[in-house]
Amino acid sequence: MSAPALGQNCRAVLPGPLRLDGGVLLSPVEIAYETYGTLNAEGTNAILVCHALTGDQYVASNHPVTGKPGWWTRMIGPGKPIDPARDFVICSNVLGSCMGTSGPATVNPATGKPWGMSFPVITIRDMVRAQGMLLDHLGIGRLKAVVGGSMGGMQALSWAATFPDRVAAAVVIASTARHSAQNIAFHEVGRQAIMADPNWNGGDYYEGTPPAAGLAVARMAAHITYLSEAGLTEKFGRRLQAREAKSFGFDADFQVESYLRHQGLAFTDRFDANAYLYITRALDYFDLAEEHGGVLANAFRGAATRFCLVSFDTDWLYPTSESRAVVQALHAAGAAASFVELSSPFGHDAFLLDSPELNRVVAGFLGNGR
Amino acid sequence: MNLRPDLAIIAKNVAPGSRVLDVGCGDGALMAALRDTANVDARGLELNPGNVAAAVGRGLSVVQGDADTDLADYPDQSFDYAILSQTLQTTMRPHVVLDELLRIGRRAFVSFPNFAHWRVRVSLLWGGRMPVTRLLPLEWYETPNIHHVTIDDFRAFVRERGLTVEGAWFLSDGRPARPAAANLFAEHAVFLLRR
């Protein structure tokens, strides 16, 4: 067998099978990933970075579709808390997504056609197990750390619960151990928008026109949950978009409308509607306590993993109380936990934005401080 | 490393290799000293997010939280020591916090500024104003110290609750003060308690 690919735009086709939480055996499992830096001789410097719902493996390199810089270059790069000069960084596209890893848009080898809605429903733990297979393939036993924000944080928690011996430290930012009724409700709005688009066609649109309008509405609704009321007011207020007066029509009169329409539309250029359905489902199914007899502390009992949780005070998608619930469970389990609520006007998205405090906490926690 | 004198006393009297919860740990100076010199497994609770960030930045396990409300999250007898330094007088319900310390820790270190120190007495007696001293540097309206306590108050409190004093240290100008007249001459007290 040839050595696994390293660097940018890597792809592994693993024989599997991967036993999914839903009972289905998935085989083969394709995983698209990127690596940065070099694994040291002792194999002790590997950091797995997990991406959020609409993120991808291009964490610190330019996105092939949008051309934009990696989504977390504020956290990963030279002189950053996670530095490829010191750390071996791995980021893979999650199972069910659409940037090269097995998902509804990839071809089902049994039919030679895209899976569409015949792709099995997946969970956060399935994503984590797929990442575990990738690490096996790369020859990485134990991670120095698994790091993620939002859905990436859920994967970090799931990693520590599923493979406690493989994770020395977990960084969980702006995240939660379970999806709340409100979280599920917002996702359902998005899914229904997609499925109400006639182009969705039961998920079978890969040879026709994709349901861009539905996916754009889904993105618009979700995008509101990533921002804060104060942030929206500061950025847009009630200002009008390139006009002096209200049009008495249904154009995007307000700047905030124009902004959301743009966000929705731009999203459809780079994301698959079915993948959005599958990943939001995985998020909604996420309840780490449920997987452990209803007691969250049981997910972490006996683990040697160190945890660092960070929340933001204006994040109402995964508010501080969710992080506190995890911290409480970690205390009950006797695990080493750090937690801080940082202040930011930017809501849930704050974890992706410039935050010297966040960088200081993560760098210090990883022992990469000075 | 230069520890505050009351913290130095605590650091000297914590058994090496023990598990410690530092409540109101600030930027983690004591925790770092305990970790580095006594191989202590130290955890911290701190209200100020900037201090939490600084402590986590030193590689310490510190959780942002409030001694008045968040100690309930810690399991019974999960630490060898719970430490409350210069924080008792700032809590809403000091007696509840002390109960919590001895529920979580098998022993508790408690340090506090002595409100019966002669400078404080003089200030109140002759000045007729709430004292502003080196250890109590803020005016009455902005001081975080909402439950002033004297050494004799604390001794009485400990007695009433039936707690055992395993050690008591007194400081004046950062130097040891004699226990006999501590309530008059010590600026600062450190107690080691157990049930």
State how far the Cα of B122 lies from the Cα of B135, in Å rounded to an integer. 15
Token representation of residue A87: 């750390």
- Within 8 A of B100 by CB-CB distance, chain A residues are none
Using the predicted structure, report yes or no on whether residue A368 has a pLDDT greater than 90: no
Please indicate, yes or no, if residue A5 is contained in any of the structural domains. Answer: no
**Torsion sign over Cα A146, A150, A151, A157:** positive
Chain A nearest CA to B96, separation (Å): 19
Per-residue confidence band for B1, with pLDDT thresholds at 50, 70 and 90: low
State how far the Cα of A239 lies from the Cα of A259, in Å rounded to an integer. 12
B128 touches chain A (CB under 8 A): no
Per-residue confidence band for B184, with pLDDT thresholds at 50, 70 and 90: very high
The answer to whether B67 and B48 are in contact (CB under 8 A) is no
Q: Which residue of B has its CA nearest to A307?
A: B61
Measured between alpha carbons, how far is residue B37 from residues A312, B8, B58 in Å?
Answer: 34, 12, 15
- Within 8 A of A365 by CB-CB distance, chain B residues are 56-57, 59
In this prediction, residue B137 carries a pLDDT of 86
A56 is catalytic: no
The top-level CATH class assigned to B5-114+145-194 is: alpha beta
Residue A58 sits in a domain of what CATH number?
A: 3.40.50.1820
% of residues, chain A, pLDDT over 90: 97
Whether A250 and A150 map to the same domain: the answer is no
% of residues, chain B, pLDDT over 90: 85
In single-letter form, the type of residue at position A1 comes to M
Neighbouring C-beta atoms of residue A202, cutoff 10 Å:
8
In the numeric block, the tokens 């983690």 are attached to B28
Listed in sequence order, the residues at least 6 apart from A116 whose beta carbon sits closer than 8 Å to its beta carbon are: A104, A202, A203, A204, A205, A206, A274
**Torsion sign over Cα A116, A121, A123, A129:** negative
Listed in sequence order, the residues at least 6 apart from A26 whose beta carbon sits closer than 8 Å to its beta carbon are: A16, A17, A18, A20, A102, A120
Whether A357 and A303 map to the same domain: the answer is yes
pTM of the model: 0.94
The answer to whether B29 and B4 are in contact (CB under 8 A) is yes
- Residue from A89, A9, A98, A59 nearest A276 by CA: A98
In the numeric block, the tokens 């909604």 are attached to A284
- Over residues A59-72, the pLDDT tens digits come to 999 999 999 999 99
Using the predicted structure, report yes or no on whether residue A370 has a pLDDT greater than 50: no
Residue contacts between A and B (CB atoms, under 8 Å): 65
Q: Smallest Cβ distance to B61: which of A306, A324, A360?
A: A306
The answer to whether B125 and B117 are in contact (CB under 8 A) is no
Average pLDDT taken over every residue of chain A: 96
Token representation of residue A52: 């959020």
Classified as helix, coil or strand, B157 is helix
Scored b (16 or more CB within 10 A) or e, A208-240 reads eebbbbbbbbbbbbbbbbbbbeebbeeebeeeb
Listed in sequence order, the residues at least 6 apart from A82 whose beta carbon sits closer than 8 Å to its beta carbon are: A47, A49, A75, A76, A89, A147, A362, A366, A368
What is the DSSP annotation of A148-197?
A: EETHHHHHHHHHHHH-GGGBSEEEEES--SB--HHHHHHHHHHHHHHHHS
Average pLDDT taken over every residue of chain B: 94
* Boundary of a domain, candidates A280, A309, A326: A280
Please indicate, yes or no, if residue A49 is contained in any of the structural domains. Answer: yes
Alpha helices in B18-122 (DSSP H): 29-38, 49-57, 67-70, 94-104, 118-122
Whether A76 and A94 map to the same domain: the answer is yes
Using the predicted structure, report yes or no on whether residue A265 has a pLDDT greater than 50: yes
Q: Do A360 and B57 touch (CB under 8 A)?
A: yes
The answer to whether A318 and A311 are in contact (CB under 8 A) is yes
Q: Do A361 and B58 touch (CB under 8 A)?
A: no
Whether A170 and A194 map to the same domain: the answer is no
In single-letter form, the type of residue at position A160 comes to A
In this prediction, residue A369 carries a pLDDT of 57
Whether A203 and A71 map to the same domain: the answer is no
Please indicate, yes or no, if residue A370 is contained in any of the structural domains. Answer: no
Q: Average of pLDDT values for A22-46?
A: 97
Q: Do A332 and B75 touch (CB under 8 A)?
A: yes
- Residue from A23, A21, A5, A12 nearest A101 by CA: A12
Whether A174 and A300 map to the same domain: the answer is yes
Q: Average of pLDDT values for B174-186?
A: 92
Please indicate, yes or no, if residue A139 is contained in any of the structural domains. Answer: yes
- Over residues A286-333, the pLDDT tens digits come to 999 999 999 999 999 988 999 999 999 999 999 999 999 999 999 999
Token representation of residue B134: 């080196």
* Boundary of a domain, candidates A247, A280, A313: A280
Alpha helices in A58-176 (DSSP H): 124-138, 151-162
Whether A332 and A251 map to the same domain: the answer is no
Q: Do A334 and B75 touch (CB under 8 A)?
A: yes
The answer to whether B24 and B45 are in contact (CB under 8 A) is yes
Whether A137 and A189 map to the same domain: the answer is no
The answer to whether B146 and B94 are in contact (CB under 8 A) is no
* Boundary of a domain, candidates A230, A253, A280: A280
Per-residue confidence band for B2, with pLDDT thresholds at 50, 70 and 90: confident
Q: What's the domain count of chain A? A: 2
Whether A75 and A214 map to the same domain: the answer is no
The answer to whether A358 and A349 are in contact (CB under 8 A) is no
Per-residue confidence band for A359, with pLDDT thresholds at 50, 70 and 90: very high
Q: Do A360 and B53 touch (CB under 8 A)?
A: yes
Whether A49 and A194 map to the same domain: the answer is no
Q: Average of pLDDT values for A216-232?
A: 96
**H helix or E strand, kind and range, residue B105:** strand B105-113
Q: Average of pLDDT values for B40-52?
A: 95
Chain A nearest CA to B6, separation (Å): 25
Q: Which residue of A has its CA nearest to B50?
A: A357
Phi and psi at A19, nearest 5°, equal -80, 115
A308 touches chain B (CB under 8 A): yes
The answer to whether A94 and A279 are in contact (CB under 8 A) is yes
Whether A211 and A351 map to the same domain: the answer is no
Q: Which of A87, A126, A284, A315 is catalytic?
A: A315
State how far the Cα of B102 lies from the Cα of B100, in Å rounded to an integer. 5
Q: Do B64 and A334 touch (CB under 8 A)?
A: no
In terms of Cβ atoms closer than 10 Å to its own Cβ (0-12, 13-18, 19+), residue A300 is buried
- Over residues A310-319, the pLDDT tens digits come to 999 999 999 9
Q: Average of pLDDT values for A87-104?
A: 98
Using the predicted structure, report yes or no on whether residue A1 has a pLDDT greater than 60: no
Check: complex ipTM more than 0.90: no
Provide the residue range defining the domain that includes A207. Answer: 183-280
Whether A102 and A221 map to the same domain: the answer is no
A150 is catalytic: yes
